Amino acid sequence: MIKEILREENIEVLVSQSSKNNMVFCGDDYFFLHVKEYFVCVLADGLGSGEHAYESSHAVIEQVKQHHHLDVESLMEICNQVLIAKRGAAVSIMKIYYEEKEFVYSSVGNIRFFLYNPSDDKLVYPLPVTGYLSGRKQKYRTQRFKYEPNAKFIFHSDGLELKGAKSFLKRQVPLENNARCILESSPQTADDTTFILGSLLSQ
């Protein structure tokens, strides 16, 4: 289900989310923010499902909301700390710096991220650190990627079985159309499902 759409001068973003078996609480949570200098986005997948999973993922989101000005690795660390005594969560955080035309990305757990740059027809797929955030000491891998005008990206929780990410990101269609195609082509899973689809606009 398409839940939210952002359209700004530099970027367009669409979020689709559904809960496991239409439960009241979705164990996935997300947040994004566009400011003049950057775009920040976080996706958290609480372990399991239901209210306790939501409690973990939402705690992560609140930290990024309050501290979005920090660098990605610092955000990962404060998200890890807030999960002490909670169930834990897979977490991915991305910042896009418009002036540098650069993605900065870090992920722990089973959230997937794909970036497509059209001029070289290449798909970037950074491998996440395995495991999940739970307050325990954690190593992070922060990666940087240049992007071009009209680059596309998607990242998603493991409830979405996305096959052929490149073929979707190459499509020159409105985000809403692309999102519907992704939903129609992906098998229905009994899990919380969230994906965030974006396009960097010509500047």
Range of the domain at 88: 2-200
Tokens 């955000």 locate to 75
Q: What are phi and psi of 87, to 5 degrees?
A: -70, -30
Query: Could you read off the pLDDT of 73-91 as tens digits, one per residue?
Result: 999 999 999 999 999 999 9
CA 158, CA 109: separation in Å to the nearest integer? 10
pLDDT band of residue 50 (cuts 50, 70, 90) is: confident
pTM: 0.93
Number of compact structural domains in the chain: 1
pLDDT band of residue 144 (cuts 50, 70, 90) is: very high
Q: What are phi and psi of 60, to 5 degrees?
A: -65, -45
pLDDT band of residue 190 (cuts 50, 70, 90) is: low
What pLDDT, on a 0 to 100 scale, did the predictor assign at position 72? Answer: 97
pLDDT band of residue 163 (cuts 50, 70, 90) is: confident
**Mean pLDDT, all residues of the chain:** 91
CA 176, CA 5: separation in Å to the nearest integer? 9
Task: Write the DSSP string, the chain.
Answer: -EEEEEE-SSEEEEEEEE-GGG-SS-SEEEEEEE-SSEEEEEEEEESSSSHHHHHHHHHHHHHHHHHTTS-HHHHHHHHHHHTTTS--EEEEEEEEETTTTEEEEEEESS-EEEEEETTTTEEE-PPPBSS-BSSS------EEEE--TT-EEEEE-TTS----HHHHHH--S-HHHHHHHHHHHSPP-SS-EEEEEEEEPP-
CATH number at residue 137: 3.60.40.10
196 contacts 43 by C-beta, under 8 angstroms: yes
